[in-house]
Structure 1
Amino acid sequence: MRKVLIVGAGQSGLQLALTLLENDFEVTVMSARTPEEIRDGRVMSTQALFGPAMRHEREHELNLWESETVPFEGLGVSIAAPDASRALDWVAKLDEPGQSVDQRVKMAGWLELFEERGGQLVIHGVTTADLDKLAGMYDLTIVAAGKGELVQLFDRDPSRSPFTKPQRALSLVYAHGVERRPEHPDFAAVRFNIIPEVGELFMIPCYTVTGNCDILFFEGLPGGPLDVFGDRPSPAEHLRRILELMRTYLPWEYERSRDAELTDPGGSLIGGYTPVVRRPVGELPSGNVVFGMADVVVANDPITGQGSNNASHCAETYLREILAHDGEFDRAWMERTFERYWEYARHVTDWTNAMLQPPPPHVLEIIGAASQLPEVASRFVNGFADPSDFQHWFMHPDKAAAFLAEASVNA
């Protein structure tokens, strides 16, 4: 029986660990926290899982909260005018509903499921020195912890990493008491609000430790008017500031959120990080190599909501390549396997990095046309589930013009 060590207990590492158990691997997961500590701690992220990633969870019977979670069936875009009115507003349905489950709920539950299914769970923070001793004991060692000392084992790939500093200041709360948008009272949707030259607000229906809720998530341009959380306010003050910013810049979202209350004392988060692609193989002092996955090797800004989806696709790609391989999991295999994942992830990275920049004229034309042409709105919205489609129209002015002309004829 082949032995695999996975360091990190997030979406990618635990999904891979659980699916390897299905295939008779001996799997050890090392987590810095117990399920109880994760469940009782602070929120770790936003997340919005779209159709293809949801199918992975159903296939492996990992969708433990699907029946309890309010799905989001669409995605809407609003653009704020200088006077805080709406210059544009539209919504379109997804071909497949998505969902958001708080990582505190999912990762704690998956860790418990991992042990129930026969996996070995070790609660221990791992240093490079620890990993150097452990790696030789396993056929394959995977680093799935996207933060901390171990990430430094993986060198930045400058050819795939255009940024050297954070592009957004991130701040969010999980809240109860947010009403549904009156434009679509019969279904929940992710709402993407753009404040030109200021930042963005995402409203994401979510399931958390206290039930269904909404995530209020600001992405602010560094140094701008949304970047006002550097003093690390208390959760209650954090919520107050977010609501005040909504009232100032996005009053239509404030009106449905004015009675919002924190879901729990851990329901707020502040941060920011530099988008980066790293080389997938880390070498330890002993000469042993370890394999990075998901955020360790491809960390995008959350502006396109792809983090959990990338992690799911990475885990599924690695699973296929592990099962298909009879030889040693050496450097060449790791590099080859990562490139298989990069075939998907590069489209996400290109699109996400483009969305962090001031929109070029053809993108403004697309977003405007979507308010009049359902075919355009549908294609844009469903690109969140399949970002590889954006290369065929959204990313290139000539291709965008051709598609918009065709959609106008079809209307």
Structure 2
Amino acid sequence: MSVTSMPETKVTPRSIAIVGAGQAGLLLGCALLDQGYQVIIVTNRSAEEVWNGKVMSSQFIFEPALAIERRFGMNQWEDECPWTDGISFSVPAPDGSGTQAIHWHAMLDKPGQSVDQRVKMPGWMKEFERRGGELRIANVGVPELEALAASHELVLLAGGKGEIVNLLGRDEERSPVKQPMRALALTYVTGMKRHDYPECVNFNLIPGVGEYFVFPALTTKGKGETQACDIMVLEGVPGGPMDCWAGLSPEQHFEASMNVLKTFVPWEYERSRDCQLTDPNGILSGKITPTVRKPVLTLPSGRKIMGMGDAVLVNDPITGQGSNNATKGAGAYYEAIIARGGQPFDEAWMQATFDAFYNGYAKEAVRWTNSLLFPPPDFRVNLLGAAQQFPGIAARIADGFNDPRDFAHYWYEAADADRLIASEAQKAA
């Protein structure tokens, strides 16, 4: 996973095609161009269409992934985008009083950022072309994949939507959640009041109802300009009172968001009452089935293509790991491609490359994310409550957003959680 030791030596040009101009595909494409590879990216929307379209995600990126963007010279908005310094966590009191039974905040080791993909992807598309890549606007189906595979040494399928990604096939063993667990909504707003503590991803857990989290970001302002905003992420348990997004107009969507805040997290409503939508396209709703797909697709000709990014890893956004997984996956694929030298990108290499990334990192991000989609066991509630008393636990949970592998040490078993609490209590004694 380390990107600090990536080779700098230019390689003999090899031809690579990437289908999908998102976080993973554009990042990897630009990085490979810098190493002398011949790269084409095929996507179905132009930069202008992306800029003027609907929001696509909440895309909060934590420091380890930001470091990869920075390493590849893809941090164009770092000075412009608001920084988020920590994680806050709240649970409403069960008596309906509108107060917080649990509330704490902790600083991240280093801050993170969110740049609206309507800003980032058009900028990266232009950067890809500036570095010498070929950007082709076209729809891609099996015939187009066949043509790309016939003319390129490696084809990477990086698009996360559409029927084409389903051809990769779901990995049932790695995909224990079989249906959508939340009704999802994004609401991009301006005019939010700040908290009196450091800027945080403010996470609110509403037992039996869903979750609400919110954080600052950079979004569009029209005519090529940008502005600061806040992104509301609302996740409702299916069939519950937060499962209310289908068929709403932008105005109705915004009103429903405010009603959720007023009803379930009034402390968040109070600082949001003067908000307004950034633009009519600043909303999104839908449902996601968490999925890990198989990384190799065999085309009718027998040629192989490889999945990456959202095409192979689809997480519920409850932990904000999607863009981080895509970025870290792009970094891992980069290292593997460089290390391959002139050897063929065969099926064994494809499978081994994905397995190394999945087993070395993504597995624990998926495990942690899926754990939050189910009612928490008592020991985990106690752990979250103990974080209010012991800052060391709060800091440990916060930095798990940077690297979810640490949760394996205390998140899943009662004995491990109790051990961490006891250790922090002893330090405080």
Q: What is aligned with 2:224?
A: none
**Quick one: distance in 2 between partners of 1:253 and 1:173?**
14
**Quick one: distance in 1 between partners of 2:76 and 2:148?**
32
SS at match of 1:200: strand
Q: What is aligned with 1:212?
A: 228
Q: What is aligned with 2:406?
A: 389
**Quick one: distance in 1 between partners of 2:195 and 2:232?**
14
Q: What is aligned with 1:268?
A: 283
SS at match of 1:371: helix
Alignment of 1:357-396 (within 5 A): 357-396=374-413
SS at match of 2:389: coil
**Quick one: distance in 1 between partners of 2:168 and 2:72?**
30
Q: 2:322 aligns with which of 301, 307, 310?
A: 307
Measured after TM superposition, the shift of residue 368 of structure 1 is 0.2
Measured after TM superposition, the shift of residue 355 of structure 1 is 0.9
**Quick one: distance in 2 between partners of 1:257 and 1:102?**
20
Aligned-CA RMSD value: 0.9
Q: What is aligned with 1:57?
A: 69
Alignment of 1:65-214 (within 5 A): 65-82=77-94, 83=96, 84-182=98-196, 184=197, 187-210=198-221, 211-214=227-230
**Quick one: distance in 2 between partners of 1:238 and 1:200?**
17
**Quick one: distance in 2 between partners of 1:381 and 1:298?**
23
Q: Report the AA paired with residue 193 of structure 1.
A: N
Q: What is aligned with 1:337?
A: 353
Residues 206-228 of structure 1: CA deviation (Å, up to 9, x unaligned): 11012110011100001110001
**Quick one: distance in 2 between partners of 1:290 and 1:281?**
6
SS at match of 1:160: coil
Residues 131-153 of structure 1: CA deviation (Å, up to 9, x unaligned): 12221110000000001021122
Alignment of 1:205-284 (within 5 A): 205-210=216-221, 211-230=227-246, 232-284=247-299
**Quick one: distance in 1 between partners of 2:51 and 2:114?**
16
**Quick one: distance in 1 between partners of 2:263 and 2:209?**
12
Measured after TM superposition, the shift of residue 173 of structure 1 is 0.7
| 1:408 matches 2:422 | no
**Quick one: distance in 1 between partners of 2:383 and 2:309?**
30
Measured after TM superposition, the shift of residue 250 of structure 1 is 0.7
Q: What is aligned with 2:5?
A: none
Measured after TM superposition, the shift of residue 57 of structure 1 is 1.0
Measured after TM superposition, the shift of residue 306 of structure 1 is 0.2
Q: Report the AA paired with residue 288 of structure 1.
A: R
Residues 282-335 of structure 1: CA deviation (Å, up to 9, x unaligned): 111111111000211111111110001000000000000000003110100000
SS at match of 2:114: coil
Does the CA-based 8 Å contact 1:128-1:149 persist in structure 2? Answer: no
**Quick one: distance in 2 between partners of 1:65 and 1:264?**
20
* TM-score, normalised relative to structure 1: 0.98
Measured after TM superposition, the shift of residue 85 of structure 1 is 2.0
**Quick one: distance in 1 between partners of 2:75 and 2:267?**
33
| 1:39 matches 2:39 | no
Residues 98-120 of structure 1: CA deviation (Å, up to 9, x unaligned): 00000111111000100011100
Q: What is aligned with 1:348?
A: 365
Measured after TM superposition, the shift of residue 68 of structure 1 is 0.6
Measured after TM superposition, the shift of residue 273 of structure 1 is 1.2
| 1:324 matches 2:339 | yes
**Quick one: distance in 1 between partners of 2:346 and 2:408?**
33
Q: What is aligned with 2:18?
A: 6
Does the CA-based 8 Å contact 1:173-1:262 persist in structure 2? Answer: yes
Q: Report the AA paired with residue 46 of structure 2.
A: T
Does the CA-based 8 Å contact 1:190-1:204 persist in structure 2? Answer: yes
User: Percent identity at matched positions?
Assistant: 46
Answer with 310-319 or 271-280: which moved more. Answer: 271-280
Q: Report the AA paired with residue 93 of structure 2.
A: A
Measured after TM superposition, the shift of residue 395 of structure 1 is 2.0
Q: 1:28 aligns with which of 40, 43, 54?
A: 40
Q: What is aligned with 2:310?
A: 295
**Quick one: distance in 2 between partners of 1:99 and 1:395?**
28
The number of residues matched between the two structures is: 407
Moved beyond 2 Å, runs of 4+: none
**Quick one: distance in 1 between partners of 2:379 and 2:368?**
14
SS at match of 1:282: strand
Q: Report the AA paired with residue 308 of structure 2.
A: M
* TM-score, normalised relative to structure 2: 0.94
